[in-house]
Amino acid sequence: MPTITTSDGTEIFYKDWGTGQPIVFSHGWPLTSDDWDAQMLFFLDHGYRVIAHDRRGHGRSSQGSEGHDMDHYADDLAALTEHLDLHDAIHVGHSTGGGEVARYLGRHGEARVAKAALISSVTPYVMQDEDHPIGLPASVFEGFRTALAANRPEFYQDVAAGPFYGFNRPGVEPSEPIIRNWWRQGMTGSAQAHYDGVYAFAHADFTADLQKISVPVLVMNGEDDQIVVFENTAPRAVELLQNGTLKSYPGYPHGMPTTHADTINADLLSFFRS
């Protein structure tokens, strides 16, 4: 099982398939690199080298008690790209993974990077405060943490069966295999890492990170995203980027890389080739 060991002793699991221009995928909370199956197989078939890792405390990476914050996530991603000596890489992040990509670029620069895509991303900021009245109240995120601590298996079942994929919307047929796969990935990780991770993505402000990024960035967001609300995030992220493009999807949910993989993959491929 391929892993790297970071400077603080954390083992990070990763997959590295194929040859060609590298695409590096950063997954959402509380999932794993498995959540990118539909993208990794698609882009491998289109001649790219595809790489994805399990964030610290998630999946097959080690479950230490420290470092469950956006700076450590970004530093772990930097350690992976340096270990693999990646150049001209394309970074793709979903949800918390979008924040991880933005913080990586803001903290470690663009020398190894060609482009990036932020999908349903927590950038630039998701929480409500005096300077950001359109964000979600802090009580929403504390509710996540309370539900996780009280009964993680049930909470993860409810998230996957409900708002994450829009399976709670009228007329939408839930997919039990997708729900079970989400639950499976979540339950392989550390409860403490996931508990701390909610605080990490909810309280992180990525404004300064986005303002530093000059490579082309495609910002993709479903207009019916019930986890990262479109109006609160994607349009504002594009305004902060030097070379950003917004693509929105009417009716698409937060988990659209899974539920609408054909569309998302085709749009990513078009952006990569442009």
Low-confidence ranges of the chain (pLDDT < 50): none
| Start-to-end CA span in the chain (Å) | 35
Question: Structure pTM?
Answer: 0.97
Residue 25 and residue 152 in contact, taking contact as beta carbons nearer than 8 Å = no
Please give the CATH topology (third level) of the domain spanning 3-273: Rossmann fold (3.40.50)
Of 184, 222, 252, nearest in space to 30 by CA: 184
CA–CA dist 268, 255 (Å, integer): 15
175 is catalytic: no
At 86 the pLDDT is 98
At 1 the pLDDT is 82
At 112 the pLDDT is 97
225 is catalytic: yes
Per the DSSP assignment, residues forming a β-bridge with 109 are none
37 is catalytic: no
CA–CA dist 66, 132 (Å, integer): 29
3-class SS letters over 204-227:
CCCHHHHHHCCCCEEEEEECCCCC
Dihedral of the alpha carbons of 51, 183, 232, 222, in degrees to the nearest 10: 70
Per the DSSP assignment, residues forming a β-bridge with 213 are none
CA–CA dist 199, 47 (Å, integer): 38
> Of 69, 75, 224, 225, which one is the catalytic site residue?
225
> Of 33, 95, 120, 190, which one is the catalytic site residue?
95
CA–CA dist 64, 56 (Å, integer): 8
- Taking the domains of the chain in order of start, what are their residue ranges? 3-273
